[in-house]
Structure 1
Amino acid sequence: MSKRLTLTALALATAVAAGAAAPAIAAGPDPVRQGLETLVHSDGAPGALASVRDRAGHVRTYTAGVGDRDTHAKVPRDGQVRIGSVTKTFTAVVVLQLVGEGRISLDATVDHYLPGLVHGKGIDGGDITVRQLLQHTSGLPEYEEDVTDDILKRRYVSPRDALDIALKHPAVSIPGAEFHYSSTNYLLAGLIVEKVTGRPFADVVDRRVIRKIGLRHTYFPAPGETSIRERHPQGYRQDRSGALRDVTEIDPSASWAAGAMVSTDSDLNTFFSALLGGRLLDRPELDAMRTTVPMSEDDPDHKAGLGMITMPLPCKDAQGHQRVAWTHSGSIPGYGTWSAATDDGRAASVTMTRDITTNEAVQHLQKTVASALCR
């Protein structure tokens, strides 16, 4: 959850900008299986798993490595994992559902919903809009580096406490000036949802997304819940000595609406397919979600929408146009996940059982997902 982990999710642009817009995919053996083997043997993940859904809805699952370094148990197929910042896409969907119902306005300020809550050095909630929160253009500082120890030591951190930690830092830019990835944006989005609905955020996500599209293995952990409920691979993190240690059981509360959820790769494919297929948002809100801004002058190919980004694929459609996927990724102690889907019904999600700490791992995750979507 430190600065090095912000290589993931929307901040992946900084990692891929120096390379190709989309990694090339070689012909030959199954590229998804090869991708998982790379995550294990080159990126140091004890295990890796993936689920791929084709246009016809057929699903294939993959595993590599071991699910438990102590027992050498196999990686469970489609096991539950912590999805980190992929949670942000769920949060954006809930906010946009409330926009469609007229209960939230994307162009209203944070102060309109949470008066006087957001203030600090260069920070004023009266200048920041809901749209800027969801698109990471608010200029709000990141807080996650400051709560890594709390997460690993299983200490509960409330959303308000996490926000207070963030607001001790100065703004990184003026609102609307530029893209700057910060999980603080999604803490505030979750608080706005609670204020508008009068319900705990986890309950709102469960009713409006999880149960609505039948995600059977996806949930928002309860306060103080440190274990993963169903079969799962163990998650690992490298300590200061360089050794990997088991960090499966953590308290993800500090990540909350920005990164606390648990799911499976197949459930994530169902979620992204349902989202792009119009089952979760009406057309105006889905169009708003897919309206993008540049993420970096050095990387014109990846652009940020509201809780999703564009990812160019190294393959073309029937008309000869480069295909594009909509994606989000996430890292949390123990796990790194990348999920993406295309408008024609394809979806792929890949997880490695250690948090993402290098640009190379980001690129390998992206390449594995891209290869699945191009088959």
Structure 2
Amino acid sequence: MAAHEKLQQVLDWAVAEVGVPGIVADVKDGDRTWFATAGVADIRTGAPRRPGEYLHTGSSGKAFTAAVLLALEAEGRLSIDDTVNAHLPGVLDVNGYDGDKITIRHLLSNTSGLFSTGLAPEVAHRYATRSGFLRHRFDTFTTEELLRVAVSQPPVGAPGERFEYSNGGFHLAGAIIEKVTGSSYAEEVDRRVIQPLGLTHTRVRPAQDTGYPDPYPRAYSNLFFKDGTDPATVTPENWESLMEEPGLPPLDVTEFNSSLGWSAGNVVSTTGDMSRFVNAMADCSLLPPAQHRQMWTTVSTEGGHWMPHARYCLGLFEFDKQATGGRTLRGVGGSLWGSWFFAVGTPDDRHTIAVHTNTEWKTWDLMFKVIEAEFGVSIGA
């Protein structure tokens, strides 16, 4: 069976069995390109998904943050082994953290010891339930609020000791970018990543923005806890058991203020632009060789409640070669209410696939089935 036929079967399976309203896959394989869809962009009208849609890339934005900081290092403006206190003195010196020991590298590799920011009660209570989301969907977060949340709970470990996925670390990284350059985070991403790569359909979403340019899919979410759940009791171990019962209709969350993501993931783009970005991260066409090596230096994610069979780099991931039969596959990904995006490719930038669903992450099986269909690699098999 041709590779694209296998991939189409996976997309159809995602809609029929996983509960994805609509899904797209954008493939580049040498000189071959292919765009496939299944499901719908709009449940109400039945409109299909189509090429060129604007979509939220979630935590894929972390790779943009890492790329800017590595570009600043290449210019001699900073080192990623600088401590946080070297640029933001005192910001981390609360609640058991030590800004003289946590480095920019720790922030970008999720090994700083910062807790999982999404579980902070002052954030979780706003969006934990459907009713909470509807009340707070247009709330705007300032940088000061995000930095305060980042250190609002005690450390989960010493710097460099373990992996724990933390948006707060990337919010600190964004604040360092602004402190060093004197420009806004969005301006620096545009200057150092978007413009050099010609990503004409990509931008950091402005804090006040709550929609998308045309064309775009409607976004649907079931990412809510049962009514009455106390966010303070949610942990990385028990959160799945507290989710809403399956079978409830999704909530349309298309209009939503995503300033909570900021430098941890608030980039709006297209599958085509994101494929170009991943290729540039893979083939050393944006960063000098020394910084390129830094970006792809991996850390173990074991015990970090994250994607299985993968190691974390600086804002990106690489699948464990033991899980891929020795092949190197790298990528970015991110999920939030109503959107899940990932792009995976080979280091030579010859073969890349970008996938988006207009609902949040449902299961890693979908990603792994896509990779098996497109690259012939059975992750973890």
TM-score above 0.5, yes or no: yes
Q: Which residue identity lines up with residue 62 of structure 2 in the other structure?
A: K
Secondary structure class of the residue paired with 2:18 = coil
Q: Partner of 1:143 in structure 2? A: 117
Q: CA deviation at 1:313?
A: 7.5
Q: Which residue identity lines up with residue 43 of structure 1 in the other structure?
A: V
Overall identity of the aligned pairs, in %? 33
Q: Which residue identity lines up with residue 285 of structure 2 in the other structure?
A: R
Q: Partners of 2:188 and 2:347 in 1: how far apart?
A: 26
Task: Return the match for 2:199 from 212, 215, 240.
Answer: 215
The C-alpha deviation readout for 1:268-308, integer Å capped at 9, x for no partner, is 11111112122210100001111112111799952221112
Q: Partner of 2:250 in structure 1? A: 244
Q: Partner of 2:266 in structure 1? A: 260
Q: CA deviation at 1:29?
A: 6.8
> In the alignment, is the contact (CA less than 8 A) between 2:278 and 2:332 conserved in 1?
no
The C-alpha deviation readout for 1:210-232, integer Å capped at 9, x for no partner, is 11111121111112100011301
* Equivalent residues, number: 342
Secondary structure class of the residue paired with 2:188 = helix
Q: CA deviation at 1:370?
A: 4.6
Q: Partner of 1:31 in structure 2? A: 6
Q: Partners of 2:311 and 2:174 in 1: how far apart?
A: 23
Q: Partner of 1:11 in structure 2? A: none
Q: Partner of 2:355 in structure 1? A: 350
Q: Is 102-111 or 37-46 further displaced after alignment?
A: 37-46
Mapping for residues 3-18 of structure 1, pairs under 5 Å: none
The C-alpha deviation readout for 1:165-213, integer Å capped at 9, x for no partner, is 2312111111111111111111011111111111000111111111111
Q: Partner of 2:237 in structure 1? A: none
Residues 1:370 and 1:134: Cα distance change in structure 2 (over 3 Å) = farther
Q: Partners of 2:175 and 2:112 in 1: how far apart?
A: 16
Secondary structure class of the residue paired with 2:25 = strand
> In the alignment, is the contact (CA less than 8 A) between 1:81 and 1:335 conserved in 2?
yes
2:328 is the alignment partner of 1:331 = no
Q: Partners of 2:75 and 2:372 in 1: how far apart?
A: 35
2:135 is the alignment partner of 1:129 = no
Q: Partner of 2:37 in structure 1? A: 63
Q: Partners of 2:323 and 2:165 in 1: how far apart?
A: 28
> In the alignment, is the contact (CA less than 8 A) between 2:150 and 2:167 conserved in 1?
no
Residues 1:373 and 1:269: Cα distance change in structure 2 (over 3 Å) = farther
Q: Which residue identity lines up with residue 208 of structure 2 in the other structure?
A: G
Mapping for residues 1-375 of structure 1, pairs under 5 Å: 30-56=5-31, 58-146=32-120, 147=123, 149=126, 153-238=137-222, 242-296=248-302, 301-312=309-320, 322-345=326-349, 346-356=351-361, 358=362, 361-374=363-376
Q: Partners of 2:163 and 2:322 in 1: how far apart?
A: 25
Residues 1:157 and 1:300: Cα distance change in structure 2 (over 3 Å) = closer
Structure 2: give runs of 5+ residues left out of the alignment: 128-132, 227-243
Residues 1:363 and 1:313: Cα distance change in structure 2 (over 3 Å) = farther
The C-alpha deviation readout for 1:41-75, integer Å capped at 9, x for no partner, is 2221110111111123x321111101101111111
Secondary structure class of the residue paired with 1:122 = coil
Structure 1: give runs of 5+ residues left out of the alignment: 1-25
Moved over 4 A (4+): 26-29, 297-301, 312-316
Residues 1:84 and 1:373: Cα distance change in structure 2 (over 3 Å) = same
Q: Partners of 2:292 and 2:166 in 1: how far apart?
A: 22
Secondary structure class of the residue paired with 2:348 = coil
Secondary structure class of the residue paired with 1:285 = helix
Secondary structure class of the residue paired with 2:169 = helix
Q: Which residue identity lines up with residue 99 of structure 1 in the other structure?
A: E
> In the alignment, is the contact (CA less than 8 A) between 1:339 and 1:369 conserved in 2?
no
Q: CA deviation at 1:314?
A: 9.9
Secondary structure class of the residue paired with 2:335 = strand
Secondary structure class of the residue paired with 1:73 = coil
> In the alignment, is the contact (CA less than 8 A) between 1:314 and 1:322 conserved in 2?
yes
Q: CA RMSD in A?
A: 2.4
Q: Which residue identity lines up with residue 75 of structure 1 in the other structure?
A: R
Q: Partners of 1:196 and 1:272 in 2: how far apart?
A: 26
Q: Partners of 1:315 and 1:31 in 2: how far apart?
A: 21
Q: Which residue identity lines up with residue 252 of structure 1 in the other structure?
A: S
Q: Partners of 2:275 and 2:3 in 1: how far apart?
A: 25
Q: Which residue identity lines up with residue 59 of structure 2 in the other structure?
A: S
Residues 1:28 and 1:104: Cα distance change in structure 2 (over 3 Å) = closer
Q: CA deviation at 1:134?
A: 0.7
Q: Partners of 1:39 and 1:106 in 2: how far apart?
A: 40
TM-score by length of 1: 0.85
Q: Which residue identity lines up with residue 287 of structure 2 in the other structure?
A: L
Q: Which residue identity lines up with residue 39 of structure 1 in the other structure?
A: A
Q: Partners of 2:4 and 2:81 in 1: how far apart?
A: 49
Residues 1:363 and 1:120: Cα distance change in structure 2 (over 3 Å) = farther
Secondary structure class of the residue paired with 1:310 = strand
